[in-house]
Each structure stands twice: as C-alpha cells, then as structure tokens.
Homo-oligomer: A and B are copies of this chain.
Amino acid sequence: MPGGGRPVELREAALPELEPDSALLKVELSEVCGTDVHLRDGRLAGVPYPIIPGHVTVGTLEKIRGTIRDVDGRPFSEGDRATFLDVHRTCNQCWHCLVAKASTRCPSRKVYGITYGLADGLCGGWAEYVYLKPGVRCIRMDGVPSELYMAGGCSLPTALHAVERGRVGIAETVLVLGAGPVGLSAIAFSVLSGAVNVLCIGAPDERLANAQQMGANDGLNFMTVGEEDRLAWVRERTNGRGADVTIECTGAPDAVPQAMRFTREAGRVVVVGQYTDHGPTNFNPHLDVNKKHLDVLGCWGSDYSHFHRAMAMLRTERAAALWSKMRLSRYNLATLNEALDAVARGDVVKALVSPTVS
C-alpha cells in the first residue's frame, strides 16, 4: 500500500537478517478488515506509508534465531504453526502501562500492518513472510484450524475485549449494532458469556442471516427502518426496556447515541466501532446518559489476554461451531484491491488473503 488513496501494489522485498530472539513466519493466511479500508483511503493519522497491511496473520515459523517462548515459557520450534499479537512494544514502563494500567493506550505501542511501515521490515501479513521482531508475542495454533482462527481474525480480541468491558453475564440481553466481523464475534462471545437474547441491527440481509448463524436470536436491517422503529423493535424484544448491554460495532457516529437509546436504564453501552474519525454526532446528555444512569464505555484495542483467551475459547467445540459459520471470501495478493472494494461495500463478511498471486 504505497499511500493513502492509492491502490495496493505488488512489490518484492528482501528477506530480513534475523536479530537475536526473532523469527520468520511463512504466511498461510492473513485478512482484509475494515481498518485496511481506512488505511487505503488515508483515513488514519500518522501511518508510515508505504506499508504492508495485514495485522492478524497465521503461518509457520520457518526460521528462529535464538529462542522465542510462549507465555508458559515453552520455546517454539521451527515448523510450529503459530500466530502472533499484532500489537508490539507495549512498554511496561510508562504512566499508562504502570499507573493507569491502560496498556492499550501506551504511546510506545506499534501495530503490525498499521503503524509499522515497509521501512520497519516485513511487518504485515499481505506478504509471503512476516518478520517477528524480538519481543513479539507468539501463540501456538495447537488444536485450532488456521481458517477457523482467521474467520475471527482481528475481530476475536477486539470483540472479546468489548464483551468483557460490557460485563455481559448470565441471562442478559445483548444488542449488537453492526454485522461486520467485530459485530459477529461480539454476538458469539455474548452467547458464550451467558446471554439469553442477542439481537443484531445491521445490513445487508446476508450479514444478518450470518449473525443468526453465529448466535443472534433476531436481526433487523436498519436500511429499511428509521430510528424510532428500530427502538420499537428492540423494546418489543426486551420487555419494553431496551437491552442490558449494547455493543456498537458500526463505524457510523450516529450509531453511538442510538446505542444509548436502545439500552435499558442503568445498562451498559460499549463503543468499539469508532476506530476512525467520521466526525461528530448529537446526543442528549439528560435523556441519554444522566437520567438513564447509563455506562458508556469506550473500548480501544486489546491486549495479550484477549488474544490468549480467544484462542483458548476456539479450542472448544461450542466456540468452533460458532466461528465456523462466519462467511468467508478468499483473496490472494493479486486480488487485494478487489478485496478492499468488497469489504468497503460490505459485500463480504470476512475476507481472507492467501500469500499467492493466483
């Protein structure tokens, strides 16, 4: 990706010299997500173009120099199938890491495929190889098929973090706004956390059908109805009260005040869909927040724990049954521009990328 507003190009790059305790991952699968569309459109600030996108990627450790270990201290071997946390260099020595304990806001953080550019090396998954710098946190794929994992991809830790922020518990009603990968994974994690009634408002109908396969009890296409009718639809399904928890996963600013209105009094709204700046929106602080005694909870990024626990969950049959339903569209390095267009239009649910050119 040479720059904002320009199409992706195929380029050749040399394999890196491995530093001590680093590795080379031969890519099996990467993904195209909504953030990649923002990257292509130049909507994120401070991106070091040219970059190799693809922040979540699975493959095989082809070469290891020195030792890299998992969190249990067990060393990886060449040939192991693995993935890695795209977030790197959380410093553990700044005020955000140590005092606020808000490591996802650590200013030193780097993200593979987003804030690392080509100048930093092979740091994105839309490539044959990814260079795992020293300190990158790897995790084994034991017991998890690559495609199942990539069906969730970057939406796994993001959605798990959101469901955790929303404190979804036994017998709760969860409303998910948005039926993209983050929304679908939020539906699945809500079900796995004990929700008894999971609703989804999104579009198009195909995604809503997919939402129901991934655990939603009902879905509403927002293209066909106005805000008041959406509210009525939610209330009909929640004893007239609104959802216990609403998880906003849309990217549209207006969805945030709607989330407040669709939630019951003293409920929780998680805002996890606003990863780029699409401008302001209106809300009524009296009705939407204060009188409602609402919790509105921003949710930025994820940390290793979300990544680790999402993988552990995928090893269970009941989680595998859900994510195996995610509708996948397959692309390769030669068809990435088509993939970006399809994701931008919402034509595909989850786009996977193979590191081939045909």
- The interface of chain A, by Cβ under 8 A from chain B, is 69, 71-73, 90, 92-96, 98-102, 104-105, 135, 137, 160, 163-164, 169-171, 189, 192-194, 196, 239, 241, 244, 253, 256, 264-267, 271-287, 289-301, 303-305, 308-310, 312-313, 315-316, 318
**Residues of B with C-beta under 8 A to A309:** 99, 170-171
CB distance from A265 to the nearest CB of B (A): 4
A–B Cβ pairs within 8 angstroms, 11 of them: A99-B305, A169-B193, A193-B193, A256-B285, A272-B290, A274-B285, A278-B286, A293-B298, A293-B301, A294-B296, A318-B318
CB distance from A310 to the nearest CB of B (A): 7
> Considering only CB atoms, which chain B residue lies closest to A303 in the complex?
B98
Give CA–CA (A301, B291) in the complex, Å.
8
Give CA–CA (A277, B284) in the complex, Å.
8
Give CA–CA (A331, B312) in the complex, Å.
43
By the criterion CB–CB under 8 Å, are A290 and B275 in contact? Answer: yes
By the criterion CB–CB under 8 Å, are B93 and A312 in contact? Answer: no
Select which of B265, B275, B289 is within 8 A of A286 by beta carbon: B275
CB distance from A183 to the nearest CB of B (A): 15
Give CA–CA (A257, B30) in the complex, Å.
38
Give CA–CA (A293, B284) in the complex, Å.
21
Instruction: Pick the 3 closest A-B CB pairs, nearest first.
Output: A102-B266, A171-B309, A274-B290
